[in-house]
Structure 1
């Protein structure tokens, strides 16, 4: 794994990433907490670029690259894609963008992701936008959205909640201890949630 980290570090240090002042906001919240919808609004209102770790991994798989084949095999085997691989994709997306403000959605998923991101990129998030939503509400939304996603059945949903709680909460607690968490009550209607989001970005950004 060392080589991937070294390459990623080299790319971070010798590239435009270290030359431009990057602002990163991590967007965290359970499945169905409304992260994607709110990210779209933030992009429109505040000029951020939205980077979804999951979308980047899926795009890499689709590209047919060697890296994509490796990612696909890992996911198929039920393994977690190494942090450095996801970070490299995020870095590349940031380098290729003309923007310097990024929403990173669905990452870091756990403490290891978090520390790897900071050590590889040298970037700490400006703040963490945490969509706090009751489990029953997330469950209701996931079951009703019916996007044809095979992971939207009740058993799988509950497993996803459990994984999310166990792995993501330590990340939220870590940033909370540094005063960087902006908690949003995501159980309300979309418009009300965005009013709260707007208040955070107007104050912090």
Structure 2
């Protein structure tokens, strides 16, 4: 890891390392994030989990988020980013995995301008639509959104909105693409090789 001088990512004197974790629904991001946390000591922040926790807290902010979701509106990027920023500031850790965010180009530019944090790298779990479909349909978790039409819709939305983010970071040489179609253990071997370089 670099020193404070070669990175703009400083928060209250801490040198912050942020890694964005991107990949389509069913690409295995959650499983690999758990492995990274256990092996490399990162704190895992999921934008969706933070929004749900805020709603549960019953705060004014939480009520506003809940109402927006109920009305089918998209929660503004600033709201999600402020929750991520708060989680980073309140944590004793300096290394963070941010999972499933930024979802689109607007999220990305807002995150960098609000927090002043640029990700160290972007982990991109690359998986074919067929493989993701197979996994989501085989999950049997009783999730209502795991039917074929919904899966395809989610995949298309993901491709349209997230690809520009991946292309942007790729142009900066920050994307580390992982073949997520491989078995879980094989995928983690690839992840480990990347993290050993980041941590070094």
Q: TM-score, normalised by structure 2?
A: 0.93
Separation in structure 1 between the aligned mates of residue 190 and residue 63 of structure 2, nearest angstrom: 41
Distance 1:77 1:59 in 2: 19
Deviations 1:123-179 (A, max 9, x none): 000000000001111111111112222211111111100110000000000000000
Which of 78, 81, 87 is the aligned partner of 1:87?
81
Shift of 1:17: 2.2
Encode CA deviations 1:93-152: one digit per residue, 9 max, x unaligned: 111110000000000000000000000000000000000001111111111112222211
Query: What is the aligned counterpart of 1:183 among 174, 177, 182?
Result: 177
Instruction: Specify the SS of the correspondent of 2:25.
Output: coil
- TM-score, normalised to structure 1's length? 0.90
The count of residues paired between Structure 1 and Structure 2 equals 190
Partner of 2:3 in structure 1? none
Given the alignment of the two structures, is residue 32 of structure 1 paired with residue 26 of structure 2, yes or no? yes
Higher mean C-alpha displacement, 119-128 vs 67-76: 67-76
- The CA distance in 1 between the partners of 2:120 and 2:104, in whole Å, is 18
Give the stretch that moved more between structures: 18-27 or 117-126.
18-27
Q: Which of the numbers 120, 125, 128 marks the counterpart of 2:122?
A: 128
CA RMSD of aligned residues (A): 1.0
Match of 2:190 in 1: 196
Structure 1 residue 18, shift from structure 2 partner:
3.9
The whole-number CA distance in structure 2 between the counterparts of 1:22 and 1:136 is 37
Alignment match of 1:23 (pick from 17, 36, 43) = 17
Structure 1 unaligned runs (5+)?
1-15
- Per mean C-alpha deviation after superposition, the further-off stretch among 59-68 and 43-52 is 59-68
Mapped to 1, the partners of 2:22 and 2:151 lie a distance apart of: 17
Q: Please point out which of 44, 49, 55 is paired with 1:55.
A: 49
Which structure's residues are more often helix, by fraction? 1
1:139 is matched with 133
Partner Cα separation in structure 1 for residue 14 and residue 153 of structure 2: 40
2:37 to 9, 22, 43: 43
